[in-house]
Amino acid sequence: MNIKEEIIRLAKEIGISKIGFTTADDFDYLEKSLRLAVEEGRNSGFEHKNIEERIKPKLSLASAKTIISIAVAYPHKLKQQPQKTAYKRGKFTPNSWGLDYHYVLQDKLDRLAQGIEELTADFEYKGMVDTGALVDTAVAQRAGIGFIGKNGLVISKEFGSYMFLGELITNLDIEPDQPVDYGCGDCNRCVAACPTSCLIGDGTMNARRCLSFQTQDKGMMDLEFRKKIKTVIYGCDICQICCPYNKGLDNPLATEIDPELAQPELIPFLELSNGQFKEKFGHVAGSWRGKNILQRNAIIALANAHDRSAIPKILQIIDQSPNQIHVATAIWALGELVREPNPDMIELVLSVKNPTPQIQEEQSRFLEKFGLQEQILIEN
């Protein structure tokens, strides 16, 4: 029996799009860039903290010999558009369409491991999906899944960069695959297209400037990024949309997709309770940061969509929301949506009780935008 061929056969049966094998040797070449990212404050904060564990597979599995890398492709275009309604819609990016990819990949890794256990005795392994110690992209590149593009994503000729990645660290002794023989070449489209210039051009980035990070970060979104997210309330796809390897792709479904959840109505989204949010969106990857952050993004998206029908909802948030970040964001959004605020709007903006520094900053910005600062000073 050829164990490698049997594992490849198993992978196809399970619905794994691409599989590759590499040694469990250390990823020493990553250490310098990983430490530099920490020193320069370019990390998102979501990464595994122990750099030694990120570059040494044997710290995760002492008997490690071979790492099996898997990729599950997913589509980047909706087959079915959500129905047209009176509401403007926001967007989750494709990696959050359908069931959370962590569950999808973990299920496939578990089934692959169970299948291997039936093929060989004394099988030891450890599975990782995204939140594990190893750098998934580095493993996938060395295992021949694809190359790491200038946008930091693994790209293959078959599926572009629209792939979920995971791996099994194993004690199996399997001949490794070779890295692919293609890459970005002179193409620089993603670096040029990035609206925040977060891509450094060598496959690394300033993650804190990435719009995907901004839609997941807590607190107020910096003014610099608000208009740049447009109507996306989770993620960012710009560096993938412009990539030539992604042109003309028709990737298979990784999981069933509800277009109403992929592009939710913004005003109803703002009205969801915690329970309603968990029931409706709790199974998608974008829900992991919770309702409040995504609702903050939805307020910004309404302003960016120039949805003046949302003004009553924005005023209600300013008047009644217990969430101070929502109140401050709503004051900014009101300033974007109204041509000239009426006296009631001005009074509402200025009458927020116990305003936080963020609210005070947005109040000042609102007054300055409409030239009301001197008028307020004279009246007082």
64: tokens are 């490690």
For residue 6, the surrounding DSSP H or E stretch is helix 3-14
Encode 44-101 in three state secondary structure: CCCCCCCHHHHHCHHHCCCCCCEEEEEEEECCCCCCCCCCCCCCCECEECHHHCCCCH
Statement: residue 376 has pLDDT above 70: no
Active centre residues (catalytic): 130
229: tokens are 């997210």
Long-range contacts of 150-153 (CB under 8 A, 24+ apart): 150/184, 150/187, 150/188, 150/190, 150/191, 150/199, 150/201, 150/202, 150/203, 151/190, 151/191, 151/194, 151/199, 151/203, 151/205, 151/239, 151/240, 151/243, 152/199, 152/203, 152/204, 152/205, 153/239, 153/240
Query: Where do the domains of the chain lie?
Result: 3-76+95-170, 189-379
Instruction: Write down the CATH number for the domain with range 3-76+95-170.
Output: 3.40.109
Q: What percent of the chain has pLDDT over 90?
A: 94
Q: What is the pLDDT of residues 170-207, one digit of tens each?
A: 999 999 999 999 999 999 999 999 999 999 999 999 99
Compute the average pLDDT of residues 356-367.
Answer: 97
**What DSSP string runs through 92-145?**
E-GGGSSS-HHHHHHHHHHHHHHHHHTTSSS--EEEE-SSSSS-HHHHHHHTTS
Average pLDDT over the chain, rounded to an integer: 96
Compute the average pLDDT of residues 259-268.
Answer: 98
Question: How confident is residue 380, by pLDDT bands cut at 50, 70 and 90?
Answer: very low
Q: What angle do CA 30, 27, 156 make, to 5 degrees?
A: 85
C-beta of residue 40 within 8 angstroms of C-beta of residue 209: no
Q: What is the pLDDT of residues 8-47, one digit of tens each?
A: 999 999 999 999 999 999 999 999 999 999 999 998 888 8
How far apart are the C-alpha atoms of 36 and 32, rounded to whole Å? 6
Compute the average pLDDT of residues 262-266.
Answer: 98
Q: What is the pLDDT of residues 78-136, one digit of tens each?
A: 999 999 999 999 999 999 999 999 999 999 999 999 999 999 999 999 999 987 899 99
Statement: residue 379 has pLDDT above 80: no
pTM score above 0.85: yes
What is the side-by-side order of every strand in the sheet holding 18-23?
Answer: 18-23, 66-73, 163-170, 125-128
Compute the average pLDDT of residues 314-327.
Answer: 98
Q: What angle do CA 196, 130, 301 make, to 5 degrees?
A: 40
